Amino acid sequence: MTLSGYGIMEKVRLLQLITLSELGGAQKVLYHLVAGLNRERFEITVACAPGGELVHWLSGHEGVRIVEVPYLCREVSPLRDLSAFCFLHRLMRRERFHIVHCHSSKAGILGRLAACLAGVPGIVFTVHGWGINDYQSRAARLLFVLAERLAGRASSRVVCVSQADLQKGLELGLAPPSRLAVIHNGLPEPPFKPGALRRELGLDEDALLVGMVCRLRAPKDPLFFLQTARALLSTGKWSNRLYFVLIGDGPLMAGCREFVARHGLAGKVFLPGGREDAPSLLGDLDVFVLFSLWEGLPLTIIEAMYAAKPVVAAAVGGVGELVVPGETGFLVPPRDPVGAAKALEALLEDARLRREMGEKAGRLARERFSVERMVKNYTALYEEILPAPC
């Protein structure tokens, strides 16, 4: 793309749009993508709901403009959604973006339709796990499928973060097959703080520590993690050296605290709340777990892999593209207490197995899930769709 008559390369005006500015996986992906893009090639605007961690993270980045959309929310709200749609449509017409890149379900629907009506040449949607799952009512599922199909036809590219999501998109007809692509999430290797988490929890080096990091919301199933912890602690194995930590915050925090108190798990199961520095603490774990009911390509597993930790996870979404069973960890069916306990016992009883699996996980993270690789792939995609019509 050149400036007419001058042969000078024009900067690509790029809008990154996401619903919420919370501490979540999609926000981390957006942040690292924005931080890694070439400022000489891209003029970047980020739009999201007001306040929150993402706005705070990006506020110190030179060359990034932040637009707060006061009406954006996760819940379905006809009046607020219409107001957000009109706000975004006006923004896109005024700024004449070359590319609008949407993240998360709500922003993905509203943003793509607004961009199409505004005549934006390139429209991209990254699926951080489809907003369609088996736990929804039939009516809700049908509504989401129809909305995704409509928005899919307005998209230049629909990027799935896993092959599993790509296959789901094809099976449900959520976008034309030629417009679907896969770009795996990528992260920089975090700076680790050896011993920091154990000192905070009052644990010595001989303690066995199993941890999970997530938003405390229904899709992550944090109560199943606590149930698994209770079951393993009740066996009396490991000479009272076994502890569990659940790092995160969210609407299920009160229920998690109540479970720990009701079953007398205080001092054995810790709930330190949400932590921005959580990735740097994972080196203190012996085993990382994630028992989600559905997922895209979870960043917390990539962070645990960078920390050279074996992973026990529910086999949902793209998790199987991160965890190699028997090599870097174990996969179990969601909400399978027997499978979860068996996998954890195998690792807790064998320090050599933990070390070998963790080392393999670390190598895999550096080879396949670097932030540089992700940014390179998105940059190539942006160049490919310019100046594709809506």
Residue 3: per-residue pLDDT: 40
The answer to whether 182 touches 160, Cβ cutoff 8 Å, is yes
Topology of domain 196-368 in CATH is Rossmann fold (3.40.50)
How does DSSP assign 12-57, residue by residue?
Answer: EEEEEEES--SSSHHHHHHHHHHHHS-TTTEEEEEEESSSHHHHHH
Q: What is the dihedral of CA 31, 36, 41, 46, to 10 degrees?
A: 0
Residue 1: per-residue pLDDT: 57
Structure tokens at 80: 């607020």
Per-residue DSSP letter, 64: E
Burial letters 300-337, b for 16+ CB under 10 A, else e: bbbbbbbbbbbbbbbbbbbbebbbbeeebbbbbebebe
Residue 390: per-residue pLDDT: 39
Q: Of 219, 125, 156, whose CA–CA distance to 389 is shortest?
A: 156
Residue 318: per-residue pLDDT: 95
> How, if at all, do strands 2-3 and 8-9 pair?
antiparallel
Residue 4: per-residue pLDDT: 39
The answer to whether 121 touches 388, Cβ cutoff 8 Å, is yes
Residue 131: per-residue pLDDT: 83
Report the alpha-carbon distance of residue 385 to residue 124 in Å, rounded.
9
| 311-314 sheet: strands from edge to edge | 269-273, 242-247, 208-213, 287-290, 311-314, 329-332
Report the alpha-carbon distance of residue 17 to residue 40 in Å, rounded.
21
User: In the chain, which segments carry CATH 3.40.50.2000?
Assistant: 2-188+370-385, 196-368
Amino acid at position 272, single letter: P
pTM > 0.85: yes or no: yes
Residue 214: per-residue pLDDT: 95
Report the alpha-carbon distance of residue 299 to residue 291 in Å, rounded.
14
Residue 9: per-residue pLDDT: 66
> Residue-wise pLDDT tens for the chain (390 aa)?
554 333 446 899 999 999 998 878 899 999 999 999 999 999 999 999 998 888 888 987 888 999 999 889 888 889 999 999 999 999 999 999 999 999 999 999 999 999 999 999 999 999 999 988 877 788 888 989 999 999 999 999 999 999 999 999 999 999 999 999 999 999 999 999 999 999 999 999 999 999 999 999 999 999 999 999 999 999 999 878 999 999 999 999 999 999 999 999 999 999 999 998 999 999 999 999 999 999 999 999 999 999 999 999 999 999 999 999 999 999 999 999 999 999 999 999 999 999 999 999 999 999 999 999 999 999 999 999 996 443
Measure the N-to-C terminal CA separation of the chain; round to a whole number of Å. Answer: 17
Residue 140: per-residue pLDDT: 85
Residue 150: per-residue pLDDT: 94
Cβ count near 124 (within 10 Å): 27
Report the alpha-carbon distance of residue 232 to residue 376 in Å, rounded.
43
252-257 CB contacts, 8 Å cutoff, 24+ apart = 252/216, 252/217, 252/218, 252/222, 252/223, 253/216, 255/223, 256/216, 256/222, 256/223, 256/226
Structure tokens at 223: 């109560």
Amino acid at position 218, single letter: A
CB-count burial class (<10 Å; 0-12, 13-18, 19+) for 15: buried
CATH class label, 2-188+370-385: alpha beta
Residue 155: per-residue pLDDT: 97
Report the alpha-carbon distance of residue 128 to residue 219 in Å, rounded.
13
| Helices marked H in the chain | 25-36, 52-58, 78-95, 105-117, 138-153, 163-172, 196-201, 222-233, 253-262, 278-281, 299-306, 337-348, 351-368, 371-385
